[in-house]
Amino acid sequence: MNALRGWAVLLGAALLISMTACDSTDGDSASGAGKTLNVLVSANSIYPQQQKDWFTQVSSKFQQQTGAKVAFETFASPNDELTRIQTSVLAGQGPDVYSLGTTFTPTAYATKAFLELSADDWAKIGGRDKFLPATLGLSGPDAGHEVGVPFTSRPFVMAYNKEILAAAGIDKPADSWDGLLAEAKQLTKPGQYGLAVAYADGFDPWKFIWAMSVQAGNPLVAGGKAILTDPTTRMAYQTYLGWLATDKVVDPAAVGWKNAQAIAAFGAGKAAFLPMVSATSKVTLDKSTVAGKYAYALMPTIPPGATTVSANGKAASSILSGDNIVVAKYTKNKDLALELVKMLTSPEMQEIYYKTFGELPTNAQYAQTLQGDPALAAIVESSGKSVGTPFTGGWSQVQLALVNVVVQSIPNLSKGTVDDAALDKLLQTAQTTAQTALDKAK
Amino acid sequence: MLVPGGALMVLVIVVPLGTAVEIALLDLDQYTFRQWLSAPFIGLGNFATALDSGLLHAIWLSVAYAAVVTIATVPIGVTAAVATHNHFAGRGLVRSLFLVPYVLPAFVVGTIWRIILQPQGIANQLLGTGGTLWLNGPRSFWALVIVQTWASWPLIYLLTLAGLQGIDPDLHEAAALDGAGHWAKLRRIILPLLRGPVALAAVIAFLHTVNAFTLPFVLFGVPSPRDVEVLPVLTYVESFQNFRFGVSAAMAVASLILVLLPLIAYLRAVRLDRES
C-alpha cells in the first residue's frame, strides 16, 4: 500500500513538473545571465548553517563568473534522492546537477539518466588529470564511460584511544586484523572493551566484510558473478561476528548499536579502538571525554588469518568513499553545469570546502598541500589506499545481501556463538540474491 | 453533481491504482525506469519473484501481528472508554493523557521504544532481564506487537467513546428505574450497543496495523530481522533498496487484496445489519 501511495505521489509530481516545464528557457551556452542552475546535494546534518553559507558563497561566485545563479536543494537520505531522481528522470525536468554518494553512483549510472563525460566534457571541467587518480575509481564502469566527477573524499579510518594503548605499552595499532584482535583482547577488561563496532548499523557491516574479502583477494563481484560463499568471505564474517560472540572484545550491547552509538561508546572512553569511521567523527569526539586523547590510524590491510597481504589481494584501507557530481542528461544548461563542476573542483573551492566541512579534496593540486599535516596523515593516506567497490548497477542489492547476513546472525551473536551451519545457509541466500541482481545488470 | 466527485475519484484513486497494477506486470527496475512505459511486459513474473522473495512469510507476519494487536487493543480501548465515560474529577486530564500515544508520530514512538528496548535499555533493567535481545530474534515479533499495541489502543478508545456518547441517555435512566446495577447495565445494555462501533474500530485498527510501515521500519531498520519482515517493509525494501519496482508493485497489489478482504467482510456485515 505504501509503495502504491509512493507511485501515486510520483505520478502527481510528474504531472506537476511537466506542467511547469514550459516555463524553462532553452539554450546551451555558458553565458548564463538571468539563468539559474539547480543543484541537489545531501543535507549536511553536522554543519547545517555553514552549508547554507556555502550555498550563498557558491552562487555569488558563480554569478560573478557566468552571470547565472545556483539554486541549491538538499535531500536527507539516499532514498529521498532516489525518489527525486525518479521524478526528475520521468519528467525530463529537475535538478541540472546532483551530488551522489560514491557507492550509489553505479546505480545512478544504470538509469542512463546522467551525462557520460566525453573527452571534450572532461576538458571543460579542467581535465581528468586534475583529480587524484584513486578518487576516479567509481566514476564509471571504465575510463570511456564516466558519469561521476569526484568532488569530496571521506575515507574510512580507525580511531584509537592513545591513553589506553600507551597504558598497555602498545605504541600503534596493528596492521593486520589478527594483530588488532590480539591487541583488543589485551585491552579488554571490566568496563572497557577492545573494539567499538556497530553491528545493527545498516551500512557498517558490509564495509568490514568487503574490506577483509578484498584484502584476501576476493572482490565479491567479478565478471558479473557474485562470490559470496568463498572461504575468504566466510572467514571475514567469522572474524567480524567472532569479535563480539566468541572473542568477547566488543560490548555485548553492540548487537543493538548503530554507528553513532559506537562513536559514543568510544567517546566515553569505554573502547580502545573504533574502526570504520570517517573524519566527520572528529566533531563528536572532540566534544567527548576522549578529546585530545585519541588519534586516527589506518584500519588493518592484512586479511584475517594472514600475516602479509595475500598475493592477489589488495591492501585496501577503505572503500572509495565520498561524493561524485553528475550532470543530468536532460539539462538544458549543460555547459553551465560543466562550468559549475569545474569551479567546485578547483583548488580554491576545494580548499574552502575542506576548511568548512572537514571533507578531503579530490583535486590533486590542493590535496598535495594537505599531505604534510600530521593530524590528517592517516586520513589522507587512507584516501590514497581506498579501493572502489564493484561498479555494477546491482551493487545496492549485493550490499544489502551482505548486511542481511549480519542482521540475521544477531540472535546467535547475542547467545555468544557463531553458528557455522547457519552462517553458510545465510551466505548461500546472499549469494543467490546477489547473483539474481547481477544477472539483471545491463 | 456526480461529475466533480467522479473525476476526482478517477484522478486520485483509479489512475494510481491502474498504474500500480500496470507496473506490477512490467519488468521495471533501475535499468528500465527511465522509459518505464516501454519496460518489458512479463505478466505475472513479478508475482512469482515476489513469492520467492518472502511474500507469503511477510503476509503471514503482517496478518498475525495485526490480528494480535487488534485482539489486544480492543479490551484496553473499551475499558478505558467505559471508565472515562462518566464524570469524575480530573476526567479531562485522564482523557488527554490517554491520547498521548496516539498523537505522537510513529517515528517518535519508534525512536523512543528503540532506545527503551536496547539490550541494556530501560525495559531490560525494569524486568531484570539484562542483555535480552528484543530488537532481533524471536522476541522482536512480540516487541513489535507490544509497541504497536501501546501506540494504537487509543484509536479503539476514541471510537468506543464516540459510540458511548451515541447511546440514548433515556436507556440509562430506564435501566436504572428497572433496578439494573452497574454491572448488569454494562453487560446487557452498553456493551451490546457498542458492538457496531467497536467492530468498526477493530476493522480500522486491523487495517491500520497491516499497513504500518513507519513503526517497524524505525524500530528494526532494514534489512529487517526475519521475524519482523512485515509486508510494508518488504515492499519498501524492494522499491528503495533493491530498485525492483515491478516486484514491489506486485507486493503492493498483494497487500491491497489483503486489506480488501476484511474491508469487504465489514461492509457486508454492515449491510446485513441494515437489512435485518
pTM: 0.89
pLDDT digits (tens, 9 = 90+) for A391-430: 999 999 999 999 999 999 999 999 999 999 999 999 999 9
Distance from CA of B61 to the nearest CA of A (A): 16
Residues of B in contact with A255 (CB under 8 A): 119, 133, 136
Question: Cα(B265)–Cα(A217) distance, rounded to whole angstroms?
Answer: 59
Residues of A in contact with B235 (CB under 8 A): 1-3
Q: What is the ipTM of this complex?
A: 0.90
Q: Are A198 and A259 in contact (CB under 8 A)?
A: yes
Is A396–B118 a contact, with Cβ atoms under 8 angstroms apart?
A: no
Question: Cα(A393)–Cα(A104) distance, rounded to whole angstroms?
Answer: 9
pLDDT digits (tens, 9 = 90+) for A333-386: 999 999 999 999 999 999 999 989 889 999 999 988 887 777 788 898 898 899
Q: Which residue type sits at B76? A: I
Is the pLDDT at A238 greater than 80? The verdict is yes
Query: Strand pairing partners for A150?
Result: A324
Tell me the average pLDDT across A285-294: 95
Confidence category of residue B216, pLDDT binned at 50, 70, 90: very high
Q: Can you say whether the dihedral through the CA atoms of A231, A233, A234, A238 is positive or negative? A: positive
Is the pLDDT at A278 greater than 50? The verdict is yes
Q: Are A146 and A139 in contact (CB under 8 A)?
A: yes
Question: Cα(B41)–Cα(B24) distance, rounded to whole angstroms?
Answer: 9
Mean pLDDT, rounded, of chain A: 90
**Exposure on the CB side of residue B116, measured as CA atoms within 13 A:** 14
Instruction: Classify residue B257 by burial, with Cβ atoms within 10 Å: 0-12, 13-18, 19+.
Output: exposed
Question: Cα(A139)–Cα(A434) distance, rounded to whole angstroms?
Answer: 22
Grid coordinates given for A240? 567480524
Is the pLDDT at A76 greater than 90? The verdict is no
Residues whose CB is less than 8 angstroms from the CB of residue A182 and which lie 6 or more positions away in sequence, other chains included: A174
Is B133–A411 a contact, with Cβ atoms under 8 angstroms apart?
A: yes
Tell me the residue length of chain A. Answer: 442
pLDDT digits (tens, 9 = 90+) for A84-141: 888 888 888 899 999 999 999 998 899 889 999 999 999 999 999 999 998 999 999 9
Residues whose CB is less than 8 angstroms from the CB of residue A391 and which lie 6 or more positions away in sequence, other chains included: A105, A106, A109, A138, A140, A141
Closest chain B residue to the Cα of A81, Cα to Cα: B240
pLDDT score at B274: 61
Confidence category of residue B32, pLDDT binned at 50, 70, 90: confident
pLDDT score at A10: 47
pLDDT digits (tens, 9 = 90+) for B93-113: 999 999 999 999 999 999 999
Grid coordinates given for A199? 553491528
* Candidate from A3, A200, A396 with C-beta closest to B248: A3
Is B255–A1 a contact, with Cβ atoms under 8 angstroms apart?
A: yes
Question: Cα(A90)–Cα(A71) distance, rounded to whole angstroms?
Answer: 21
Cβ neighbours, 10 Å, residue B166? 11
* Candidate from A7, A11, A400 with C-beta closest to B241: A400
* Angle, helix A2-20 to helix B231-240, in steps of 10 degrees: 40
Residues of A in contact with B256 (CB under 8 A): 1, 4
